[in-house]
């Protein structure tokens, strides 16, 4: 079945550091790919998405490019802030199946 | 996209009791989804709730333990029955954002602790 694998955390970075969180997927069809963020004590929020190969999703300085050849959707940000501390989930949707989530990566940014 | 109001936001319950979680959506939606997020884990789909029919449960989840109601297109409830400490989790409801590829909107979650 469909699956998502993302790098395990926790990831601890200093403010203004570069962030990469790796995500790879396995899917039988042509999935849409998402990054969700969960801030402490809150529910999930959609951060960005990409619906087809080579699409780049971006939001709040975060970017991810849908790479079909490597089945990847890595999350990047050039300069993280303390307020970016959260858990980040990579997810896919394929056909009529509901979202499949990765295990989540906890990011802590220290000043 | 839809706005979801989920309640309660948190609760502490005695083992053996039941808790009903409510989700209210500000627009009509065909399908609503219920997820469980165990401590330090990812989200696991419990069931899909369609209005007018029984919910469809994922492997490992049964209706007797997690009965779901979907009385109309804007509301759903999930009950966690006969609770044990292993049921301590965050429970979230979710709806599609409209277009099939636009992602999903989530409720703010219910943090359940069973003692």
Residue B29 forms contact with A (CB below 8 Å)? no
Burial of A111 (0-12, 13-18, 19+ CB in 10 A): exposed
Residue B88 forms contact with A (CB below 8 Å)? no
- Rounded mean pLDDT of A56-77? 97
- Going by pLDDT thresholds of 50, 70 and 90, the confidence category of residue B78 is very high
CB contact under 8 A, A45 and B106: yes
Q: Give A11-53 pLDDT, tens digit per residue.
A: 999 999 999 999 999 998 889 999 999 998 788 889 999 999 9
CB contact under 8 A, B107 and A51: no
Residue of B42, B36, B55 lying closest to B112 (CA atoms): B36
Residues in chain B, overall count: 115
Q: Give A81-94 pLDDT, tens digit per residue.
A: 999 999 999 999 88
Residue A99 forms contact with B (CB below 8 Å)? yes
Mean pLDDT of chain B: 91
Give Dmax (Cα) for chain A: 43
B36, B99, B103: which to substitute to probe chain A, counting the most A Cβ within 10 Å? B103
A105: enclosing H helix or E strand:
strand A105-110
At residue B93, φ and ψ (nearest 5 deg) are: -105, 160
Range in A29-43, A59-73, B25-39, B88-102 with the lowest mean pLDDT: B88-102
- Going by pLDDT thresholds of 50, 70 and 90, the confidence category of residue B98 is low
Please tell me the predicted confidence (pLDDT) of residue A5.
Answer: 95
């Amino acid at each position: 079945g469909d699956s998502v694998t993302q790098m395990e955390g926790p990831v601890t970075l200093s403010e203004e550091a570069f962030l990469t969180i790796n995500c790879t997927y396995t899917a039988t069809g042509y999935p849409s790919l998402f990054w969700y963020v969960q801030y402490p004590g809150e529910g999930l929020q959609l951060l960005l998405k990409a619906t087809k190969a080579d699409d780049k999703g971006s939001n709040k300085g975060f970017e991810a490019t849908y790479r079909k050849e490597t089945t990847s959707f890595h999350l990047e940000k050039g300069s993280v802030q303390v307020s970016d501390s959260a858990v980040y989930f990579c997810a896919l949707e394929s056909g009529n199946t509901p979202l499949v989530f990765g295990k989540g990566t906890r990011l802590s940014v220290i000043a | 996209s839809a706005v979801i109001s989920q309640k309660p936001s948190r609760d502490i319950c005695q083992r053996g009791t039941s808790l009903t979680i409510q989700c209210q959506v500000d627009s009509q939606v065909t399908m609503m989804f219920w997820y469980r997020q165990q401590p330090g884990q990812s989200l696991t789909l419990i069931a899909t709730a369609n209005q007018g029919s029984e919910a469809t449960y994922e492997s490992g989840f049964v209706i007797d333990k997690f009965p779901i109601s979907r009385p109309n297109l804007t509301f759903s409830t999930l009950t966690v029955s006969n609770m044990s400490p292993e049921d301590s989790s965050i429970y979230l409801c979710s709806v599609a954002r409209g277009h099939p590829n636009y992602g999903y909107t989530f409720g703010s979650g219910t943090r359940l602790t069973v003692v």
